[in-house]
Structure 1
C-alpha cells in the first residue's frame, strides 16, 4: 500500500521549533565553562567564515559586473585610435609597476594571472565572441601602427623642410659677393681678416 503524505501545519512546525530550542537551552545549561568557551569560539569562527564568504561572493560579482560594463561601454563608444592610445598607456603603467615589484610580488602576480586565465577559459568563450574580440584587437593594433607611421612621416617631413631651408640660405649666401656676405664669427672671421690683409699688402 503506498505511503500517504502527511501535511505539516504551522502549529506543528512551531511546536517542533520550541522543542528544539528547549533542548538546546538545556544542553547549554549543562555544559561546563571550557565547553561553553570552545562552543562560542567555534560559532564565532564559523559565522566569520560564512560572512567573509558571502562578502567575497558579493564583492567578486560586483567587480566582475563593473568590469564587464566598463568593457562593454568602451567597446561601444571607443574609436580605434582612442583604444590604441589607452592600451599604450596601460602597457606603460603595467611595465612601470612590474619594474618596481619584488620577486615575491612577481610570483604572486603570475599565480593570480594563471588563476584568472583558468577562470576565463572555464567560462567557455563562444567562437563569435572570440572572433569579435580578435577583430577588435587587430583593428586597434593597425590604428596604433598607422598613428606611429604618421608621426614618423611628419617628423621626417619637418627634418627635410628644415634642411631644405638651411641649404637654400647657405646657397644664397654663397651666391653673394664677398663684400656683401654677413660677418662670421670665430675662425671664419679670422680667416676673412687675414685674406683682406694679404689683399691690401699686394
Structure 2
C-alpha cells in the first residue's frame, strides 16, 4: 500500500516540476518503507555551485576594462581634455571608471570621469587644489604629455595609471601597468624623450 503512495508522490513531483524525477524506494516491512526523490532542478543547482567554485572571485574587472577592446589610458585622457580643455596631470582606472585630473587654463582643477568601455564622459567636478604653480613649473619645457606617457608605457603592459611626479629633482611621469598575468609594475617616463625606465622604488 505504501509503495503505491510513493509512486504516486514521485509521479506528481515530476508533473509539477516540469522535469524528470528519480525515485529510490527501499522496500521492507510496510512500516519501514522509505523513499528519496531527486529532481533535475537539484542536479542543476549542484552544477551551478561547482561552476561558481571554478570561476572564483573576479577582482580584476578594472584591468580587464582597460584590456584590448576597451578604453586605454591615452584614450581616456583625450576624451577628458575634449570635455574639459587644459593640461592632463593624472589618469587612473579606479572604481570602474577612468578618473582624469585636468588643470585648466584658469589654474582650476577638474576631475573628469570616463567610462572604460565606451569612452563617454560620466561626470566632471571642480576640485579645490592649490598646487597649480608647482605643476606648471614641473612641466615647463616638457614635450611629453600625460597622453604621450601613457602611450609609451603601454609597451610594458596595460596602463592603469599615469601621474606627474613633480617632487625633487627627478621630475617626470609615473605610469603603472598590469601584465596579462596580473603582475603590477611602476615605470618612469621622461618628460622630454618619453623613454621608459623601471621605477627605482618598484619592488
- Regarding TM over 0.5, the answer is no
**Considering only CA atoms, is the larger Rg found in Structure 1 or Structure 2?**
1
Q: TM-score, normalised by structure 2?
A: 0.25
Q: TM-score, normalised by structure 1?
A: 0.25
Structure with higher RCO (Cα < 8 A, 6+ apart):
1
Q: Which structure carries more strand by proportion?
A: 2
Q: Which structure carries more helix by proportion?
A: 1
